[in-house]
Amino acid sequence: MRNLKIRAVLIIIPLAILGVALATGFVLMWRLFSLSVLVLLLSYLWVFLGTRGLTGKVKKSSEYCQVGEWFGEEITVFSSSKIPKLLVKVQENTDLPGHYNTGAFNLSPEGSHCWRTEVYCQRRGQYSLGALTATVTDPFGFFSVRRSLAEPQNILVYPATLELPFFQPLSRSEPGHGPSRWLISELGPNAARVREYASGDTLNRIHWHSTAHTGKLMVKEFDPDRSNYASKSVWIIPDMHQASQLGDGDDSTEEYCITIAASLIKKYMDSGKQVGLIAASDQSYLFPPQMESQHLWHMLEALALMKATGEVPIEQLISYEIEHFGVNSVIIVITPSVSERIVTSLRQVKNRGAPVVVILLDPISFGGTVSAANAARSLVSSGFQVYIIRRGEELARTLDSRALIPHMRYVGDLV
């Protein structure tokens, strides 16, 4: 609209001066008419020549990035013309959230201009950047010409992976915090140390010599059996059912699901375990458990592009894929669903000998109307290990298995 108004003025003013000059015959009016035409002509030549011979190049320091990280970008604009380029404005066109890159400069004949920027990755996904548009406007603002200088490039932003040092699936929901409770740290045959008795410890682990020496009931701790540790695989199952999702942007259950899933995948693969991923989004995802580093990046890439647009409820997905789960599997489900049907599906998995961990995203904290309390109570009473995540909570603190048992007792008392 603004350009149309400017063009109308550019036509009306010279014609008005010409009309006055013809009507009055004044030499001054003829000179004004000639000057206005000359100014318009020079302004047009300014922008027409200002974009000719311009090319651009964008160089990225990496083809991918992770949420919370930075990557470098170097932009260079070249001029192959022997005419100087004045008042050149170059803007990078991108859909990367929070990224805006522009520069204004003059170019000498056959010269170049280069600048570097640091780009912050704040949201997972695949984005386009590197498409440059040069704009030259004459000093009077009469004309403006745009020209594309570089083709767009893609960059993949992986989801954030948080440190979850104290998250461990339990072998069974019993009191006590000793090593016998950790599923992936099953006891080896050799006692390594002694400690004070804790409620829930079995009597056959009492170290009578230390008990007599200290006057306190002491129990033996054992080193983990690493062979058993390595034989177990972990399945991560994030809920991408569209009807279950709540919240917007980074505060949505979708993003919490993806972040937790990515963090757990990296945690267990870094510790040398076989990890698999199952999800039903706009397409079905099935990554059988492996330990190769390339497998990690394949799963993170899938999580980077995954959207909560699936039509398969989490309980159906678990039933469909139940053949993959057995006694050597640990199943970790991440969901905002509070449907009672999920308990039935997970019982089927448990009956196959596979321990199950459920990470519940509390719907009411994400803007929903139903609390996760009743669903958590049903899951706990069925013998499942349950965590409740609320919006805004620090995930590393909430996913702390050391505080899980009191938390589970509390959940069991909720109404």
In a domain, 46, yes or no: no
Q: Tell me the CATH number at 250.
A: 3.40.50.410
Is 119 domain-assigned?
Answer: yes
Cα 71 to chain centroid distance, Å, stands at 15
Domain match, 387 and 302 both: yes
Q: Give the residue ranges of the chain where pLDDT is below 70.
A: 1-15, 17-22, 25, 27, 170-193, 198-204, 221-231, 403-415
**What 3 state SS string does 119-133 have?**
EECCCCEEEEECEEE
- Give the per-residue pLDDT at 180: 36
Residue in the block written with tokens 């949420």: 67
Q: What is the pLDDT of residue 404?
A: 64
Q: What domain range is 129 assigned to?
A: 54-158
Residues 214 and 284 in one domain: no
Please tell me whether residues 394 and 260 are part of one structural domain. yes
The pLDDT value recorded for residue 7 is: 58
- Are 323 and 402 contained in the same domain? yes
| Same domain assignment for residues 198 and 142 | no
Looking at the structure of the chain, the number of domains it has is: 3
Q: Does any domain span residue 31?
A: no
Are 215 and 240 in a shared domain?
no
As given in the structure block, the two tokens for residue 351 are: 């009956």
pLDDT at position 361 is: 96
Predicted confidence at residue 9, as pLDDT, reads 61
Identity of residue 353? G
Query: What is the pLDDT, as a whole number, of residue 176?
Result: 38
Angle at 36 between CA 32 and CA 40, to 5 degrees: 170
Q: What is the DSSP letter of 275?
A: E
Q: What are phi and psi of 312, to 5 degrees?
A: -100, 115
Residues 248 and 362 in one domain: yes
CA atoms 206, 209, 212, 214: torsion sign: negative
Q: Return the structure tokens found at 52.
A: 């000719």
Q: Verify that 205 and 93 share a domain, yes or no.
A: no
Say whether both 103 and 242 belong to one domain.
Answer: no
Are 226 and 233 spatial neighbours (Cβ–Cβ below 8 Å)? no
Query: Within this chain, do residues 83 and 113 fall inside the same structural domain, yes or no?
Result: yes
pLDDT score at 227: 42
Contacts of 393 (CB under 8 A, 6+ apart): none
Does a structural domain hold residue 237?
A: yes
What pLDDT shows up at residue 331? 95
CA Rg value for the chain: 33
The pLDDT, as a whole number, for residue 34 is 72
* Structure-block tokens of residue 293: 């580093």
> Is 212 found in the same domain as 135?
no
Query: Could you tell me if 216 and 245 lie in one domain?
Result: no
Helix (H) or strand (E) holding 320: helix 314-320
Task: Give residue 81's identity as a one-letter amino acid code.
Answer: S
Question: What's phi and psi for 174, nearest 5 deg?
Answer: -120, 160
